[in-house]
Structure formats: structure tokens, C-alpha cells
Amino acid sequence: MSASPPSIVWFRQDLRLQDNPALHAALERGGPVLPVYIRDDAGEGAWPAGGAARWWLHHALAALDESLRVRGSRLLCFRGDAGQVLGELAARTGAKAVFWNRRYEPAVIARDTRLKSELTLAGLEVRSANAALLHEPHTIANKQGRPFQVFTPFWRHCLTLPVEAPLALPAGRPVPAPAAWPATSGVGDLGLLPRIRWDAGLAETWTPGEAGAARRLRQFIDGAMSAYADRRNLPYEDGTSMLSPWLHTGELSPRQIWRAVEDVGRPAGLFPPGNGARVFLSEVGWREFGHHLLFHFPHTPEKPLREDFERFPWAEDPGGVRLEAWRRGRTGYPIVDAGMRQLWHTGWMHNRVRMIAASFLVKHLRLNWTAGAAWFWDTLVDADLASNTLGWQWTAGCGADAAPYFRVFAPVLQGQRFDPEGTYVRRWVPELARVPAAFIHAPWEAPAEVLARAGVTLGPSGNYPRPIVDHAQARQAALDAFQALRGGEVVVRE
């Protein structure tokens, strides 16, 4: 009796062994398993991974390879066209099946649909599964059979649906290896790490990999989750889950999160309003909502969902001076600058500060939200196309369930409310560390002798800039621009 032919498991954004339907299906089929990762930037369309996400991906793949080796296997790494790689690998190894877990980005859907057809015609069994979401976008619709565009009814509907239990891979179960491994590159040959090393801050902040995800989830559930509803908006505290990078790369699944939260209390839909666990799971719901929107409105990473915003009169920025000041955390508004510097150093930014910083770009500076989305895409370790698009269109007022454009976050007031003692600002804007709390969010209002004692000099030749725009004037210009849009005009009074 001949041995069973190998199966290929194509890992993508599901870099884990637990709750991995593609790997589970291959193991159930029997025979050797060939775990494969392919860096196919062209297959990602206009959105290949940015710099910080590539750093994370490198270390997540290395952790996956190590986990596979513990089970007698290894990760095969390739660069190039995914279809060509998979076809050639099947021909070389005699593999008769290819398994993968689905993704929902428009370019990836198109690529995967084509590949499934081509590989099937070549005589391979091809199967895909859901591993990234609680509920796939094509399974959710409103009463009219159309996509949801408002979060609350979307999530209320989702809460009526059962959540599948995560698939377990027993600790002692091996991943069967082939008799001979095909020639392949290693994780380090994928070219994911930066040539000029800027990643020290990322390395000191994060532990990519499935084990790191499990530790962080347990730490959050045992600690900050109970007070999540009250403390999640305070950037100086460790009050959020910070699970988004592991979720994006798939070292942790939303089903695993759901089960872990349920295990410490009642079913999610029965948690009382205001409960930390319930509020936290609604944030998982926002991630689901982002994928729902991206699937049904695939043009939104580049264009607003609300078509009228295509005519929005964005401001000019000669030489990109204001955009660069925002990117580098040199706007003169401490809470904005702290967030942008946290992003640059760690590849992550507290969600409340993300909203403040994003609002500042699109409303105070009146620069196109796509410029901010592009910067976040390159600098966030959790750069997820669905969530990034949802967040920026929400802030700009041009997407589903969006914040009204006329809602303009006042950065000084936001800082005073959510960082009252300036703890967060002092950490990320150290030149202001000695400024008293009364002036930490508006240092230009401090008396000269106070600034002198704090070692702060403001202005182009100082160690901290003055505000690059006046809040009141910028707010009025934003409101005028919005009124011009509503009136069909494009001329804005400056």
C-alpha cells in the first residue's frame, strides 16, 4: 500500500498552530504536511505589508517555524508568484491537496479565486476556510439583504449568532513530515527586516509569535479587562489589550479571544452593559465591521464610501511641510506629538490618541485622510487594511457610521481630559518632562520663567515647536470646508 501523498498548507495571516482550520484539515486528510509561506508582494495589490508590519511578520514566521520544529516539521519559505510557487511545489513533491485560510482584502480575494481555479484544473484538491473572523462578511446582511453600514445594528445582529469553538491541536500531536524536504529558503531570506536597523523600539516592546499572543491575552483578561470600560481611554495606563498585531498576523484568532473571555464570565451577549468584557468584545466587533465594509465596498482603501467627499476641498501643503511635522511629532500640540512619537518608536499607538492624531491631520491641517492612512500603513505593526480604512474614514467623516465632519477634537482639551497629569506626554515628548501639569498640554501658555525652569524653548530654534496651526482658526476653516462641500462649492474662506 503506497504512502499518502503530501498536502500543502499555505500560511498567510494565520501564523499559528491552534485554531487553524487549514492545518487541521490537512492533518485530518492524513499523510505528510508541507507548511508553506510565500512572500508575494504583487499578489497583495496596492497594499503589500509596510515596514513595521514586515518586521513583525519576520519574527512571527520565525516563531511559527520554531513551533513546527517542536512537532517534527518546519516552515518552507518562498518569494514570488504564489500560484507559480504552489504549482511547482506540488509537482516536485507529489502533493495532491492545498489548504489555506481565507482573507478578505479585494486584491487577495481576486488572486485566491484565480488560484483556486487554476490549481483545481491542475488536478489538486483545493480547500479554504475561515480562520480570521467570527462571522464572514458574505454571511451577514441587514433585513433588506444589504450590507450593514452602521456598527450598532451590525454588532447587535452578530451577537445573535453562534460563535464556533476554536480548534485545538493537542500538545503532543506531531505535524507529519515528508520523507525528504524540498529545497527552500529560510525566514531570513524573505527580506522582511530593514537594511538600516531602526527597529530597536519595536524589539523592546513586542514578542511576536503564538506564545506571545497567548501570554498577552491572559495578562489582559486577568488584569485590565475588568476595568476596560473605564480605563481604555487613558493612554498613560496599560488599560487596553494591545492584541491587534497578533490578531492581524493571525497568531491569535478572534474565536480564541471569544472563548477566553467567555471562560471568565457569562456568554458575551449576557454581560451587563458597561461591563469591561462586553465593551472589549465590542472592539473585536469593530474589527469584524471593518472587514464587513472592506468586503462589500472594496474601493474604500483609496476612495471615500460617501461619494460626495470626493469633492472635499483639502488644503494645499507645499513641500509637504505640515504632513512631515505631523509624521515626526512636531506639530506643537503635545498629545498629538506624543502619539506620533509612540507610533514611530513602538509601531503602535493608543487608540484614543490615534483618533486625536488622525482628527488633527484631516481637520486641523485639512490634509487628505489617505495620506494619514498611508503613514499608518507603513509604521503600524498592526497595519490591517480593513481596520485602517475604517478608522481613517470614520475620522474624516466620509465612511460608514462615521463621526460627523464637524466634530473636531480639540487637542488641548483631549490631552487635559485623558492625560491630566501629562504622564503620557512626558514619556514620549521628553523635552516637556519638567513642564508643570497646568501647562503640559499648552506649553505656549506658560509664563516665560516657567518654561525657563523646565528647560523648554519654543519656536524654530528651540527644542519644541510652537503650534503649526491655531486651533480656533483651523477648526473654523474645517467647518467652512465642510459647509462648502454641502453647498457644492469648492472655494474655502481661509
> Does residue 31 contact residue 9 with C-beta atoms inside 8 Å?
no
* Catalytic option among 44, 130, 164, 314: 314
| Dihedral sign from CA coordinates of 135, 141, 146, 150 | negative
Instruction: Confirm whether 286 is a catalytic residue.
Output: yes
User: What gap in Å lies between CA 172 and CA 178, rounded to an integer?
Assistant: 19
Residue 421 φ then ψ, to 5°:
-95, -5
User: What gap in Å lies between CA 177 and CA 155, rounded to an integer?
Assistant: 42
Q: Give the neighbor-by-neighbor strand order of the sheet with 76-79.
A: 76-79, 33-39, 7-11, 97-101, 125-129
* Catalytic option among 10, 392, 394, 428: 392
Instruction: Confirm whether 55 is a catalytic residue.
Output: no
User: What gap in Å lies between CA 74 and CA 69, rounded to an integer?
Assistant: 5
Cβ neighbours, 10 Å, residue 201: 16
> Does residue 268 contact residue 258 with C-beta atoms inside 8 Å?
yes
Return the beta strands (E) in 80-232 as ranges. 97-101, 125-129
∠ CA(30), CA(36), CA(37), 5° rounding?
155
> Does residue 35 contact residue 7 with C-beta atoms inside 8 Å?
no
Looking from the CA of 454 toward its CB, the CA atoms found within 13 Å total: 27
> Does residue 208 contact residue 60 with C-beta atoms inside 8 Å?
yes
Residue 98 φ then ψ, to 5°:
-130, 130
- How many distinct helices (H) and strands (E) make up the chain? 20, 5
Instruction: Confirm whether 326 is a catalytic residue.
Output: no
Residues linked to residue 129 through DSSP beta bridges, in sequence order: 101
User: What gap in Å lies between CA 475 and CA 365, rounded to an integer?
Assistant: 9
* Catalytic option among 369, 375, 394, 428: 369
Helix, strand, coil abundance in the chain, percent, nearest 5 = 50, 5, 45
Instruction: Confirm whether 369 is a catalytic residue.
Output: yes
* Catalytic option among 44, 118, 164, 283: 283
User: What gap in Å lies between CA 90 and CA 81, rounded to an integer?
Assistant: 14
CA dist 378 → 47, 48, 56, 72, 382 (Å): 10, 10, 12, 35, 10
Looking from the CA of 32 toward its CB, the CA atoms found within 13 Å total: 20
* Catalytic option among 118, 351, 431, 444: 351
Instruction: Confirm whether 494 is a catalytic residue.
Output: no
* Catalytic option among 10, 100, 246, 286: 286
Instruction: Confirm whether 392 is a catalytic residue.
Output: yes
Active centre residues (catalytic): 283, 286, 314, 351, 369, 392
